[in-house]
Structure 1
Amino acid sequence: MKKVTGFAGAVTLALMLSACSSEDDAAQGNPGSIDDGEQTNEYGSIDHGVTDKGETKGKEDKADDASDDIGFSLDGGSIEEAANVPAEQKKAITEAFNRYIDTLNAGQVDAYLETLSTDSYDLDEERAATEELLATRELTRTPEKLTIVKYSDEEVQVFTTMETAVKDKESGEQSVSEGRQVTVMVNDKDTWKVKAVHYIGDPETK
């Protein structure tokens, strides 16, 4: 079971999930090749900062332990919608989250970058990683059970279950991972944008 917390972008997460799937397969014939929950990948984008508690180092250290800000445990328990979400804001948040998902699924790099908060993401780095990913892979994220679990006028937390499929364009091979995700979004001039992603993968990978 893999945890990612903090400012990991969707592209970084996709690369890590793809690498985890490949390494899990390889580990069947080579026990002990994966180091206590740390997964490495050819891009080196996550493995340098993941601890056995699922915390990430680097950019995330600028936050005050972002994982403590999540309003519930990703490990389980009931998921309940926040009671104070205005109907018009619920619609705006849902539409913004869907843009975040759909633009990357469609390979629309510019539109995807517009869904990210510039206070949390280096858009040049995210663009480079996104273009590198899409050059060789097709990414399809399928969220379900969208629930706004925490709300204020400035920041919200959106829970979804998430299926992430990463397909190699050359070989046609595909890895599919499932998990639970909380996407933290901030109100940036009346537009909701992604600030951080907290993810925990389910034990089984298709």
Structure 2
Amino acid sequence: MKKNVLIYSILALVLILGACSNKADSTGGSVSDGEAVGGYGSIDHGVENGGKVGFNMLGGSIEEATNVPAAEKELIMKSFDTYMHAFNNQDIDEYMSVLSKNPKSFTIEEERDYIEGVFKEYELGREASDVTVVKFDEDANEAQVFANLYTTMKQKSTGLETKRDGRQVTVFSKEDGEWKVTSVYYMEDQK
């Protein structure tokens, strides 16, 4: 029983990105959204006023930004697909390649160390639906992509498996002609 409580506690901590509250003073987790880290991470829980995310994380209709040039939309969606592919294939180099050189809420070094540990400890799977560019600011070189995420995690050492559903806005910035992840806002669906 103690082992199960410890495992569930660890998983709860690991999944805190999905289980975070709506408090504006929550700390961040990782770009891998579904696993938490101490200190600063790329997930900003409970979107703060300064975050200016183009989608209400509490639900409602999802409206596609109308000002996205077709070529930019294609590049943004390609970057999002790379982000998902790298996570699902546990490819650390591909994963790191989609991160911004100037992230807003995580450091590259901490993220690499953290995600290597997560990839080593867990079998992971993530599916996205309703992937939509909900905000595009050409002047700021910023785009926000909404997606419903379905994440499964299986701890390799114990076989314990958990599933989480949630909504995510992934914020991208354009760097050297490529769209890179700068921060992620995630809210787990409460069942």
TM exceeds 0.5?
A: yes
Once residues 187 and 81 of structure 1 are traced to their aligned partners in structure 2, the CA distance between those partners, rounded to angstroms, is 19
Distance 1:9 1:185, change over 3 A: same
Q: Tell me which of 129, 132, 136 is aligned to 1:151.
A: 136
Q: CA deviation at 1:86?
A: 1.1
Quick check: 1:162–1:178 contact (8 Å CA) kept in 2?
yes
TM-score by structure 2 length? Answer: 0.77
Q: How does 1:132-147 map to 2 (within 5 A)?
A: 132-147=117-132
Once residues 72 and 106 of structure 1 are traced to their aligned partners in structure 2, the CA distance between those partners, rounded to angstroms, is 28
Q: CA deviation at 1:101?
A: 1.0
- Equivalent position of 1:161 in the other structure: 148
TM-score by structure 1 length? Answer: 0.71
- Tell me whether 1:181 sits opposite 2:156 in the alignment: no
Quick check: 1:157–1:182 contact (8 Å CA) kept in 2?
yes
- How many residues are matched? 164
Q: CA deviation at 1:104?
A: 1.7
Provide the secondary structure at the position in 2 that maps to 1:10: coil
1:29-62 per-position Cα deviation (integer Å, ceiling 9, x unaligned): xxxxxxxxxxxxxx6458xxx9xx8368xxxxxx
Once residues 161 and 116 of structure 1 are traced to their aligned partners in structure 2, the CA distance between those partners, rounded to angstroms, is 20
Once residues 129 and 138 of structure 1 are traced to their aligned partners in structure 2, the CA distance between those partners, rounded to angstroms, is 15
- Tell me whether 1:107 sits opposite 2:59 in the alignment: no
Q: Tell me which of 63, 69, 79 is aligned to 1:86.
A: 69
Once residues 53 and 182 of structure 2 are traced to their aligned partners in structure 1, the CA distance between those partners, rounded to angstroms, is 13
- Equivalent position of 1:54 in the other structure: 46
- Tell me whether 1:172 sits opposite 2:159 in the alignment: yes
C-alpha RMSD of the superposition = 2.5
Alignment gaps of 5+ in structure 1: 17-42, 57-63
1:177-205 per-position Cα deviation (integer Å, ceiling 9, x unaligned): 0011000100001100001101111012x
Quick check: 1:178–1:201 contact (8 Å CA) kept in 2?
yes
1:55-89 per-position Cα deviation (integer Å, ceiling 9, x unaligned): 68xxxxxxx822xx112311011111011111111
Distance 1:45 1:171, change over 3 A: farther
Q: Which amino acid aligns with 2:146?
A: F
Quick check: 1:107–1:134 contact (8 Å CA) kept in 2?
yes
Quick check: 2:143–2:173 contact (8 Å CA) kept in 1?
yes
Alignment gaps of 5+ in structure 2: 1-18
Q: CA deviation at 1:171?
A: 2.1
Once residues 134 and 177 of structure 1 are traced to their aligned partners in structure 2, the CA distance between those partners, rounded to angstroms, is 17
Quick check: 2:125–2:153 contact (8 Å CA) kept in 1?
yes
Provide the secondary structure at the position in 2 that maps to 1:65: helix
- Equivalent position of 2:109 in the other structure: 124
Quick check: 1:14–1:139 contact (8 Å CA) kept in 2?
no
